[in-house]
Structure 1
Amino acid sequence: MLRGCLPTPRTADACGLRLLVSLLTVVLLAAAARAQDAADPPPAEPEASAEQTSPQPKDVTVEPRAEDEQIAERLQGILEATGWFRAPVVRVQEGVAFLEGATETDQRSEWAQRLAGRTEDVVAVVNNIEVDTPSLFDFSAANSQLEQMLRGVIQAAPTFLVAVAVLLLTWLAAKVAGVVGRAVANRRVENELLRGMAARFAAVPVLLLGAYLALRVAGLTRLAATVLGGTGLLGIVIGIAFRDIAENYLASILISMRRPFEVGDLVTINEHQGFVQTVTSRGTQIMTLDGNHVQIPNSLVYKSVIENASANPNVRLGFVVGIDYSDSAPAAQDAVLKTLRDHDAVLKDPEPLVLVNELAASTVNLSIYFWVDASKYSHIKVRSAIMRLVKRRLQRDGFTLPDEAREMIFPQGVPVRMIGADAAAGAPPREPARDEPRDQPAALAEADEPEPESTEAEGNLTSEKQEIEQQAAGARKLSDAANLIESPADSQSGGT
């Protein structure tokens, strides 16, 4: 129920109806409880019950020096007047009262005994009144309880109807207050979540006041005071029990207010990179470059470092290439820089850089930096194309690209002489022969062939954003919750 009552526009009416039904249930249960209390006798000891169901016997006075016959006549007249005893007989001898007859309960028998004991000139009481044993199939007590409960319900019906009417009026007043609160927020607040909160904050006090009045009308004054006094305590308990939900909800409010990203931005949150799809009251959903949906709780989003690659469309890329120690570093830098400037995807401003980064074991490492407009081009595709073109340009200009291991170059070749074989054959030793040059790749042999800026494998170097959006449009919708952050296109259309 708490989850469904989060202040989103789609759950406002449902939440109000659920709250109204809950209050009606409380009032109905309270009316039933009052009827039950009216039907049940107040809990007490047997003696106390007898005193409550019958008047407390007082001292019975007779004429001075009353005779036993007068005492017996007086007591028997009292027992017959009550109607509680069948065939009551009272005899008094020498101040001792003998009580006989029958009654339905022990309390009435004890009451008659106390009555006789408090009569003047009675020194002792012998109680021989028999108590009837109820039958196993006697439902008179149950019938009496049902009659009393029915009587209590009928008596409480007008109060219950008035309480229901108060609740219905309260629900209508809360709905009107919510509409007014939303109308005021629409003129001053742009965030949809804050508008829903304003409507909810305007309706909740009206609902609480109506619940208090309904409980007071139903006669539950203590419960009404408890509802108002326990609201703060209930909020604390709910806050502790649903801490994560409340934390995500508050984080969604802060995210929708500060807007660290928009729908469609390429972001990296907690090591997850992708395009933002939706931001709900629970979490932020992104679609990774692999086409997977990732939903991150808003509390984690708000506390994490957010890398927004779309805030500034220009992205700097780079890689490292190594040339031989015998090659000219300035000439290699010029060759690489010319390659970067000739490529259409590389921005002229900021300008590309080719820097000598490290003197490694077998190479002089050049760090190459260049800028790309990520809103038009894919940085991974452009980086692949630049690396390919730089490699081709350096090899075509005669630069050597050795590997990580130390490479020994012998320009005149390595002479090899088989001493044992020449001596055994009696032949003169052979002259050392130069190694034959290795076959060059066909691509390097055709030096004049132009290198394309992008190959079929690299595609057209455009950004993958449109492809990801197409994948997202065809994907299954994970949540029906409203998106708290609009896309730039939606905000422009709404503003116009």
Structure 2
Amino acid sequence: MKNLAVLAFVLFSIISATTHAQWGAIIRTTTTPSNNGKAEVAAPGFPILEFPTPESDRKIMDQLQSLVKESGWFSTIHIRVKDGIVVLEGNIKSREHLNVFLETAQRLPMTVAVINKVRVQPPLADNIEPVIEQLRDFGQKAWQMLPVLLISIFVVVFFIFFGGYLSDGIRNIWKWRIPNPFLLALVTRLTMVPIWILVFYFALRIVGVSNLEATIIGATGFLTLLFALAFKGIGENYLAGILLASRSPFTKGDLIKVGDHQGYVQNLNMRGTTIIDFNGNLILIPNIMVIQSVVENRTANPSMRTSFFVNIGYHESISRVQELIINALKEVNGILSDPAPNVVVEELTPSAVRLRVMVWLDAKNSAEARVKSRAMMKTKDILLVNGITIPDEAREIIFADDLKVQLVQDAAQKSTQTDRKEQIRRAAAYNLEDAKKEENLPIEEPKEKLMDLAKQNPLPGNKDSSDLLEPSKPKEGSEEEKKN
């Protein structure tokens, strides 16, 4: 910061010296007042006893041009003499040289007046010399203030190391009231801000910079406003993250749907909400989008209902089929007994009676697709075992002419159909026995594996960010520490 201040000071000095170059002065006797670029007439140095002539004007011109040539003071010079009036225009590097030239022109015989329009442009080295001198003075003052400066630096460095312990103490104080780690870190930082301001103010007071403290505080407020406008989107996400953490519409591992995105919540921080979809992809949704969209939390209530359809023939007893399906589904692993499974008539189609089977499951501990699959398999097998027909969709064929159909069915064909039905029943019974083995398999949600995979391969933005969804946990020691 000090280097930037010195550099700005140097640039400001150079620009000031360049832009404030003054025009040459008009000589009145031996003084050189500034004319600010306006021509003024100086009185002659001697009394004029006769009127100027062209010959006298030529002599004045020759003498002044000879002085310009021999001195080499002027970068550019234009001299005009008429009726004893001398007009000077051009550039010169030194004000002292200009004063000598004007005094000489004023003392020449037959000179009535001298009009000065010469501009003084000192070389760059002359402009930098004051800056260098100021830098030297600054260095000398800094050397004199070195002991006090070292004390101030020691105070700041000491507080940097001590501030970590102080921050931990403040965190422990707030931890009992704020279980959320993100909010806890936010409150801790806000508590440390005034402490840091006091430390820097105290350090500046030690150095003796009495007017710089207010300047720094004012500049800090201005920069805060500037950054707030520049990073409006980031600020919105930050505040939205705080609102989501305080309201807690979902927790880690919940199955949510935000807009077109659906998946399990993996992380929530100040940048956005990270979810894992069913394909294992990590999706980062900005918090402002989450707070402004309709969020569907499918696992907020542990009990979740799923349903499927099955068709039966018109000649079948609906009440008997309902009883068979309900009793069979009670044995399926993952289906809740309360609320109990239910079967209702959904629609009477042209070819079959469509039944809707509804079951409830624990969404946090069971996979909906797996439980639904087992329920459908169980329903199909129990219907076939009990001889319930499951007709397919009706197909209508229209013939242009009348079609004569003759059914010929002998005893052998009837026997074959009976055997076929018996084979279907036996196969369904075997499937029921085999399904019992599958029911013993675990029904855990695949989100556990997805969450473990996400922990092993986190998003780069989530590595150093606090998770808003998990309470702070003490760090577990290593195996060797546990043994000791």
Partner of 2:193: 203
Deviations along 1:71-106, one digit per CA (max 9) or x if unpaired, are: xxxxxxxxxxxxxx99xxxxxxxxx999xxxx9656
Partner of 1:187: 173
In structure 2, C-alpha distance between the alignment counterparts of 1:441 and 1:110, rounded to whole Å: 132
Partner of 2:425: 444
Task: Choose from 224, 236, 241 the match for 1:252.
Answer: 241
Residue 448 of structure 1: how far off its partner (Å): 5.0
Percent identity (aligned): 25
Partner of 1:19: none
Change (3 A) 1:41 1:267: closer
Task: Choose from 421, 440, 448 the match for 1:466.
Answer: 448
Deviations along 1:320-355, one digit per CA (max 9) or x if unpaired, are: 112112211111111111112233422111122111
In structure 2, C-alpha distance between the alignment counterparts of 1:266 and 1:393, rounded to whole Å: 32
In structure 1, C-alpha distance between the alignment counterparts of 2:6 and 2:377, rounded to whole Å: 80
Partner of 1:112: 103
Paired residue secondary structure (1:355): strand
Change (3 A) 1:45 1:493: closer
In structure 2, C-alpha distance between the alignment counterparts of 1:309 and 1:49, rounded to whole Å: 91
Partner of 2:2: 24
Letter in 2 for 1:416: Q
Change (3 A) 1:316 1:124: same
Matches within 5 A, 1:260-271: 260-271=249-260
Q: Does 1:360 align with 2:342?
A: no
In structure 2, C-alpha distance between the alignment counterparts of 1:375 and 1:359, rounded to whole Å: 35
In structure 2, C-alpha distance between the alignment counterparts of 1:152 and 1:469, rounded to whole Å: 63
Partner of 2:132: 150
Residue 147 of structure 1: how far off its partner (Å): 3.3
Paired residue secondary structure (1:260): coil
Partner of 2:367: 378
Tell me if the contact between 2:269 and 2:466 (Cα under 8 Å) persists in the aligned partners.
yes
Partner of 1:43: 20
Tell me if the contact between 1:159 and 1:217 (Cα under 8 Å) persists in the aligned partners.
no
Matches within 5 A, 1:288-307: 288-307=277-296
Deviations along 1:384-410, one digit per CA (max 9) or x if unpaired, are: 1110111111122222211222689xx
Tell me if the contact between 1:361 and 1:406 (Cα under 8 Å) persists in the aligned partners.
no
Normalising by the residue count of structure 2, what TM-score does the alignment of the two structures yield?
0.65
Tell me if the contact between 1:179 and 1:199 (Cα under 8 Å) persists in the aligned partners.
no
Deviations along 1:269-310, one digit per CA (max 9) or x if unpaired, are: 333332222222212222222222112112112222223334
Paired residue secondary structure (1:349): coil
Structure 1 gaps of 5+ residues are: 1-22, 69-84, 87-95, 135-139, 409-413, 418-430
Q: Does 1:241 align with 2:223?
A: no
In structure 2, C-alpha distance between the alignment counterparts of 1:467 and 1:97, rounded to whole Å: 101
In structure 2, C-alpha distance between the alignment counterparts of 1:404 and 1:433, rounded to whole Å: 28
Letter in 2 for 1:203: V
Change (3 A) 1:128 1:398: closer
Change (3 A) 1:457 1:407: farther
In structure 2, C-alpha distance between the alignment counterparts of 1:212 and 1:116, rounded to whole Å: 64
In structure 2, C-alpha distance between the alignment counterparts of 1:321 and 1:299, rounded to whole Å: 43
Tell me if the contact between 2:313 and 2:389 (Cα under 8 Å) persists in the aligned partners.
yes
Task: Choose from 315, 320, 327 the match for 1:331.
Answer: 320
Letter in 1 for 2:6: L
Residue 373 of structure 1: how far off its partner (Å): 2.0
Residue 26 of structure 1: how far off its partner (Å): 3.2
In structure 1, C-alpha distance between the alignment counterparts of 2:198 and 2:208, rounded to whole Å: 15
Paired residue secondary structure (1:371): strand
Partner of 1:484: 467
In structure 1, C-alpha distance between the alignment counterparts of 2:475 and 2:300, rounded to whole Å: 20
Tell me if the contact between 1:345 and 1:382 (Cα under 8 Å) persists in the aligned partners.
yes
In structure 2, C-alpha distance between the alignment counterparts of 1:177 and 1:315, rounded to whole Å: 49
Change (3 A) 1:114 1:42: farther
In structure 1, C-alpha distance between the alignment counterparts of 2:358 and 2:301, rounded to whole Å: 17
Tell me if the contact between 2:258 and 2:295 (Cα under 8 Å) persists in the aligned partners.
yes
Partner of 2:66: none
Normalising by the residue count of structure 1, what TM-score does the alignment of the two structures yield?
0.64
Letter in 2 for 1:372: L
> What RMSD, in angstroms, separates the aligned Cα atoms of the two structures?
5.1
Structure 2 gaps of 5+ residues are: 35-41, 50-69, 72-83, 87-92, 398-403, 477-484
